[in-house]
Amino acid sequence: MSNTTRPDAAMFDAAHPVLCLASASPRRRDLLASIGVHVEVRPVDVDETPLPGESAASYVSRLACDKARLGSGLSTLPTLGSDTAVVCDDEILGKPEGSEHAASMLRRLSGRAHQVLTAVTVSGPAGVLTACVTTRVTMREIAEDEIAAYWASGEPADKAGGYAIQGLAAVFVERLEGSHSAVVGLPLFETAALLRRQGVAVWGDALR
């Protein structure tokens, strides 16, 4: 028989947050809730400008660490920071500045593969732990009228790369190699491993 103490039911109670989320993203909050981790939300502001010569992996990892570091100053709980970048031809595609910018990004992604990198950092008793995940996303050809209609939906306005895989843009995705949840905003497999190392229980731990 295992001597491991099972997590108390209160740890999975939405009224008792066990983690500070240093982000206002409802997608990350919902992803964490889906694995039984309820959070207090403490958004932070960081400069998201890439450094000269900085790789996409270094960029998202740096921002995730910065967010976790700043968030940890606002809470006594372990703190999670994360960042996602859409990369095409080694260029980071940010959030669209308007309809033309969004359209140009979707034209660029149309009919080809690109990478989505998501880094997650959890600070807590075990120190500052970080993981970075790369997912390859292949899109079908996207027609001009679809691009215009997608922008009119309002969905891509605040999304990196100008699309949301968990929303209407799912119909554009022909193939995905890697982590779907990472493209949405948080790689759940890697996140769960980091949380456990910080003493934060996730769904399933109570069954062990």
Domain holding 86, by residue range, is 9-207
Whether residue 3 lies inside any domain: the answer is: no
The structural domain count of the chain equals: 1
Catalytic residue among 30, 45, 47, 83: 83
Whether residue 1 lies inside any domain: the answer is: no
Whether residue 2 lies inside any domain: the answer is: no
- Cβ atoms of 57 and 115 closer than 8 Å: no
Whether residue 83 lies inside any domain: the answer is: yes
Q: What is the pLDDT along the chain (208 residues), one digit of tens a residue?
A: 334 444 554 455 556 899 999 999 999 999 999 999 999 999 999 999 999 999 999 999 999 999 999 999 999 999 999 999 999 999 999 899 999 999 999 999 999 999 999 999 999 999 999 999 999 999 999 999 999 999 999 999 989 999 999 999 999 999 999 999 999 999 999 999 999 999 999 987 866 6
Residues in contact with 53: Cβ distance below 8 Å, sequence separation at least 6, in sequence order: none
Q: What is the domain-level CATH number for residue 106?
A: 3.90.950.10
Whether residue 173 lies inside any domain: the answer is: yes
Q: Give pTM, 2 decimals.
A: 0.88
Is 90 assigned a catalytic role?
A: no
Chain center to CA of 163 = 14
